[in-house]
Amino acid sequence: MSRSDANRGTFSPNNVANHNTIARSDARVEVAKRCNGCRSGATYDDRVSNRTPSTRRVALPGGVAATRRSIRRTGGLLGIGVAVTLWIASVVASWIIPGSLGGAVSFLGAVLACPVMPALGIPATGGSGRVLLAIGVSAVLWWLVGQLTAARVTRQPVVGFREWLMSFLVISGAIWVGALAGVLLGAVALGAF
């Protein structure tokens, strides 16, 4: 007669406690049978719950988690970097393209890099104070757009800088259309057309 057969006939709190003890010991035997490589004799739950902080997972450099963290940290700086790249490209275009066409291409590139310029009335009213204000406000705008894009993109399971750039171009495209519309509206108001 097995241990469980002896307690089967009657129901009492003692029998339930004995049954639970027997069931736990049977479960440990089963775990020990399944765990061939276990030297300590501890159950799987005991080994997992007793991990020290040194056995924590570390993010793999260049892995999915590290790339996501990098995008979150550098999204705003990347946004400012795109604006600076546009400005440098517009300056180089003014050196390469001669005459008034080069100046127009350079100005349009500067408007794309600093989309706040038409809202402040540049070039109709100038001054270094307005230009510096436009550069500062545009830098804050591009940082916010970069961070917003990073937060939006990193919700996806697998993400990279390519996905950040595609999402950034969609959001910044709307800003660029608005800035160029402001320049066109200003040109019409001043009688250029």
- 86-106 pLDDT, tens digit each: 999 999 999 999 888 888 889
* pTM over 0.85, yes/no: no
| Cα dist from 112 to 5, 89, 109, 139, whole Å | 84, 11, 5, 12
The tally of domains found in the chain comes to: 2
Domain span at 16: 10-55
| Residue 90 in domain | yes
With contact defined as beta carbons under 8 Å apart, do 105 and 96 qualify? no
| Residue 75 in domain | yes
Q: What pLDDT, in 10s, does the model give residues 14-37?
A: 555 565 566 566 555 555 555 555
| Residue 5 in domain | no
**Dihedral sign of CA atoms 101, 93, 113, 79 in order:** positive
Over its C-alpha atoms, the chain yields an Rg (Å, rounded) of 33
My answer on whether 94 and 156 are in the same domain is yes
| Residue 3 in domain | no
Grade residue 1 by pLDDT with cuts at 50, 70 and 90: very low
With contact defined as beta carbons under 8 Å apart, do 95 and 88 qualify? no
